[in-house]
Structure 1
Amino acid sequence: MTEKVVSIDLGSNSFRVLKYDCVNHRILAEHNEVVGMADGLIDTGLISKEAQNRVITAIKKSVEKIVYEPSEAVAVTTAAMRKATNSAEVLKHFKSQTGVTFNIIDGVEEARLTLLAVKYALKREKIDSSKFILLDIGGGSTEIILNDEEKHISNSFDFGIVTLTQKYLKSHDLKADLKKKKEDIKSYINSLNINTDEFTFVATAGTPTTIAAIKLGQDFFSYDKEVINGTTVDLNDLENCLKIFKNSNEEEIMKLVGRGRVEFIEVGILIYQMIFEALNKKESIVLDDGLREGVAINYCLENCKN
């Protein structure tokens, strides 16, 4: 019987590793790092050599820190690798250099696994998990999942904080783009023919957890996910964060959000704000749990009999 698993989530900007206890469903160890895998992807369609080297270094560091056999890790990668034209070659290189075999998952599977983690997290936090709308803002894609009891519907939107920032930095009209995306999301929600008032708004990933942390007086170095989990944020909290970043220098912002996130955080908040408005919601419950937890839990459910 498998009692432990190591799961890896290689996203467009972040690299997240988890060692998980399948018997007691608890985290044993974890490692998070910004690797900027999607840097330059918008322009070239490629995962750059520099980004590949950062990922390889991060994997080797995580092996030392968490102590695991790389070839046995359950590893997934998402939007950046889905978009890159050299993904097959890159993943082969990762395997030869580190022993890790990555599986590219589509938006539907990404949503299913993230939803699995969030359901477990809501139960752990003693929050009603029957009806909720889940938002997962990634680096290269944004997932919106509607969960109604045991049924769910998901949609993966082709934008994220990294890709949208890179477009914006090239004189892209961010305001107009967000307005169009808001209409697309409203249209999608309307097509589901539901009353969104009946659904709790839940958000995971770096932008919501950063806002929750700042609201609670934490920064990147004092971040405590046990305290963050279950925190409610509202539109005023988003506005306050935007003001803080506007009036802070790069070093001050880095202390709040961590290295490798400074240039993306404002766009992340504007995406979050836009989705609040598209869903006509005033507050959102924030959870730290996401894809890597879902990958681990899914593996445990399929391979552990307990």
Structure 2
Amino acid sequence: MQPFKIIGIDLGSNTLRAALMNSNFKTEISKEFIVGSARNLRPGGKLDAFAKERILNALDEISTIFDFKSYPCVAVATEAFRLASDSAEFFSEILSRFGIKFSIINGEDESKFIEIAVKKRLEILKLNIKNPLIIDLGGASTEISFNGIYKSFKFGIVRFFNEFNAQNLQSKNAAFITKYAKEFITHLSSGGIILTSGVPTTLAALKFGLDYQNYDPNLVNGKIIKFDEFAKFRDFLTNLSSLEAEKKVGKNRQELIIAGLFLLENLLEGNDKFIVIDDGLREGIMISEILRRLNDNK
């Protein structure tokens, strides 16, 4: 079979991530946009008008970077779009405008795709971890996979911030919000905890001297962060001015990263260190599609 390439798009509750991957599982181009899909969203309510505008602007830019006429595209959307009442209407608009067809996937499938991506990256890094516990803290939901068990919990950084937008409220409520997920992972016997998604990757980047503009997933993948660094970097971000924070972690991310650190601190209490992996849902859907095509041509 001739080599081929796949475009993958993950439209999450906070970010839109797109990439081009070849049939050797190498990512050739990747882009990420902060779109805040879940901002101001209540279950059963409509997507925020500004969020929709940010998504459309991101897709406009993506259309100039990726060659959709030459390569097939797999595009998925997650929890914010499971919650919103106008998702179908919005995706119909996107299809007619960009020719990109989004599928809204459920939390269990999301968790499976994330696991595929993380395990592939661990394999590339030659990190042999028995029964890894993989946690993806998203914008509106948190996906956890362990040894064939896939769970999705109804909390994420944007959803949490929508409900508790002051640090004193976040500090008081994070334990309650993460309670069931914490109970679930407490009884699992894992060879290592893997953290993926924006909060842990940002923390790892800060720890190793990267800022938002020079972020490099290759420098973040496989890095170790420790439990006490959640509070340390939360304090660090709290004390930055808005301009300083924008340079360090990106526009409109300071408060969300802080909220996410409260969630991780409460969820992972009792654990010491964690491996950070940048790969997630975006990579998982591309790997799955590549494997499907390779199997179909055997």
For the criterion TM > 0.5, the same-fold answer is: yes
Spell out, residue by residue over 1:41-70, the C-alpha distance to the aligned partner (whole angstroms, 9 max, x if none).
Answer: 138711133322221221121121233239
User: Are the aligned partners of 1:78 and 1:110 in contact in 2 as well (CA < 8 Å)?
Assistant: yes
User: Are the aligned partners of 1:123 and 1:129 in contact in 2 as well (CA < 8 Å)?
Assistant: no
- For 1:300, which of 272, 281, 290 is the aligned residue? 290
- For 2:279, which of 279, 289, 297 is the aligned residue? 289
Structure 1 residues 170, 236: CA separation in 2 closer, same or farther (over 3 Å shift)?
Answer: closer
| Equivalence for 1:266 | 258
Distance (whole Å) between structure 2 residues aligned to residue 175 and residue 70 of structure 1:
49
Q: What are structure 1's unaligned runs of at least 5 residues? A: none
Distance (whole Å) between structure 2 residues aligned to residue 100 and residue 183 of structure 1:
38
| Equivalence for 1:15 | 16
Structure 1 residues 299, 90: CA separation in 2 closer, same or farther (over 3 Å shift)?
Answer: same
1:1-306 equivalent positions in 2, closer than 5 A = 3-22=4-23, 24-42=24-42, 45-69=45-69, 72-147=72-147, 152-169=148-165, 173-189=169-185, 193-194=187-188, 196=189, 198-277=190-269, 280-304=270-294, 305=297
TM-score (normalised: structure 2): 0.93
Among the aligned pairs, what percent are the same residue? 31
Q: What are structure 2's unaligned runs of at least 5 residues? A: none
TM-score (normalised: structure 1): 0.90
Q: How many aligned positions are there?
A: 295
Q: Alignment partner of 2:254: what SS?
A: coil
Structure 1 residues 184, 251: CA separation in 2 closer, same or farther (over 3 Å shift)?
Answer: same
User: Are the aligned partners of 1:30 and 1:66 in contact in 2 as well (CA < 8 Å)?
Assistant: no
Distance (whole Å) between structure 2 residues aligned to residue 248 and residue 176 of structure 1:
23
User: Are the aligned partners of 1:71 and 1:99 in contact in 2 as well (CA < 8 Å)?
Assistant: no
Distance (whole Å) between structure 2 residues aligned to residue 266 and residue 298 of structure 1:
33
Distance (whole Å) between structure 2 residues aligned to residue 301 and residue 34 of structure 1:
29
Letter in 2 for 1:237: E
Structure 1 residues 71, 96: CA separation in 2 closer, same or farther (over 3 Å shift)?
Answer: farther
Spell out, residue by residue over 1:245-266, the C-alpha distance to the aligned partner (whole angstroms, 9 max, x if none).
Answer: 1221111111111113122010
Structure 1 residues 224, 189: CA separation in 2 closer, same or farther (over 3 Å shift)?
Answer: closer
Distance (whole Å) between structure 1 residues aligned to residue 211 and residue 285 of structure 2:
27
Cα distance, 1:102 vs structure 2: 0.2
Letter in 2 for 1:10: L
Distance (whole Å) between structure 1 residues aligned to residue 7 and residue 179 of structure 2:
39
Letter in 2 for 1:49: A
